[in-house]
Homo-oligomer: A and B are copies of this chain.
Amino acid sequence: MKIYLEPTTAEWDSLVQRPLIDQGPLQKTVSKILQQVRAKGDTAVKVLTKKHDGFTVRKLLVSEKELKDAERKIPVDLQQAILRAYQNITKFHSQQIEVTRKIETSEGVYCWRKSVPMERVGFYIPGGTAPLFSTVLMLGIPAQIAGCKQIVLSTPAAKDGHVHPAILYAASLVGIKEIYKAGGAQAVAAMAYGTASVKKVDKIFGPGNQYVTAAKQLVQLDGIAIDMPAGPSEVCVIADETSIPAFVAADLLAQAEHGPDSQVMLVSNNQQVVQDTLNEIEKQLPQLDRKSIAEKALQNSKAILLGNTESVVAFVNQYAAEHLIIASDEPQQYVDGIVHAGSVFIGNYTPESAGDYASGTNHTLPTNGYARAYSGVSVDSFVKKITYQQISKNGISKLGNTIVLMAEAEGLQAHANAVKIRLN
């Protein structure tokens, strides 16, 4: 982890920069995969699955029996943990339902908006080394609360053709019955364009490798909605003299174990805390299973030492972190100043892991500085907010002239006529 001592604000621009990935060649490869699936449907999905994921799939759809068997394959204590997380996430997200309020904007003119669930949504859940059943909850719970009736899940099976039972268990908790054994860009293509076995969805959610990410961005050009653009996961920790270095080190390592491209930042106004944290990392790192991954991530990581609290807040805002931990006993001095972040973890006893699994907030968050303009996944992500207006005969007679004047000034006479004809 490289230490930067009081960099000037001119230097901040490069410090907050995420590694640039040249999307050109990747997009070409992924475009080809999308084309294949559009042309050959399920056959292409199966061939590409064999080629890229190394397993032969006869039937893409997970059977009812596989779904039923999942529950007894999960240890009871893990089941209880998943249920507890389910409850907290449900409690938090249930507050996000918008109530419809009818407003009389002017005499006889009534307007309102109503949240209507999307009809059919698709989740991409990575398989591989880590079976991300927590992401099934994070996408499935807000979808369920929104009222989505058709939820499709696509995930690569292991080489033996099985989907991890924890993914199936989490899926059945949130009411998902339609699960396909397909991964990578081909899975995204199947959900985006539809095949004989997978019906086209309206919006695609979920994390994935760079192929999945590129596929999501490309299908968006064809009008399929996606949750948000994505980059490698990242954390930024604010530390000060009230931080506990062992905790900060553990939080940084938790992020670093995600992948070699994970982004880890430590920002502080206290040199001693930074040094103590780095020492703690040295102590904790050797004990990790995913030590070599974390080590690589730490090589690109930065510890930034700044002169005062104001600079710390300004810097973390410019970074716009996916996860921002305020590791302090006096976090309030920072909280109100934060304007760009995905999710904020406040105080020494709020590790990022809590939000990843069970505090109740969503862990699908904007990376790569996208927190400047994007929010994390919520119930909002699964509804369209349709607006309505109903105007009485008296209402249009009172408001009509306003509309006519504006339409005519914009040179749209037929727009004006549509009102005039109702006034006569």
**Residue positions of A touching B, CB distance < 8 A:** 23, 77-78, 80-82, 84-85, 87-88, 91-92, 95-96, 101, 103, 105-106, 109, 111, 113, 116, 118-119, 129-134, 166, 202-203, 217, 220-221, 223-225, 229, 246-247, 250-251, 253-254, 256-258, 284, 288-290, 294, 331, 335, 338-362, 366, 368-376, 378, 380, 383-393, 395-396, 399, 401-403, 405-407, 409-419, 421-422
Q: How far is the CA of A371 from the CA of B371 in the complex (A)?
A: 25
- Among A23, A202, A335, residue most surrounded by chain B Cβ atoms (within 10 Å): A202
Q: How far is the CA of A416 from the CA of B343 in the complex (A)?
A: 19
Report if A396-B354 is in contact (Cβ < 8 Å); known contacts: A220-B220, A251-B418, A414-B257: yes
| CB < 8 Å neighbour of A393 from B256, B349, B393 | B349
| CB < 8 Å neighbour of A418 from B351, B361, B393 | B351
Chain B residues within 8 Å of A407, by CB? 353, 356-357
Q: Assess the A402–B113 pair: CB atoms within 8 A.
A: no
Would you list the 9 A-B pairs with minimal beta carbon distance, nearest first? A105-B360, A225-B373, A81-B405, A346-B390, A257-B414, A361-B387, A88-B105, A351-B418, A250-B418
Residue of B nearest to A346 (CB): B390
Chain B residues within 8 Å of A340, by CB? 116, 119, 384
Chain B residues within 8 Å of A358, by CB? 399, 402-403, 406
Minimal beta-carbon separation of A98 from chain B (angstroms): 8
Minimal beta-carbon separation of A201 from chain B (angstroms): 9
Q: Assess the B361–A134 pair: CB atoms within 8 A.
A: no
Q: Assess the A346–B78 pair: CB atoms within 8 A.
A: no
Q: How far is the CA of A166 from the CA of B361 in the complex (A)?
A: 45
Residue of B nearest to A399 (CB): B358
Report if A371-B384 is in contact (Cβ < 8 Å); known contacts: A81-B405, A344-B389, A406-B81: yes
Minimal beta-carbon separation of A87 from chain B (angstroms): 8
Q: How far is the CA of A321 from the CA of B78 in the complex (A)?
A: 46
Q: Assess the A290–B388 pair: CB atoms within 8 A.
A: no
Q: Assess the A82–B411 pair: CB atoms within 8 A.
A: no
Minimal beta-carbon separation of A230 from chain B (angstroms): 10
Residue of B nearest to A391 (CB): B350
Q: Assess the A386–B95 pair: CB atoms within 8 A.
A: no
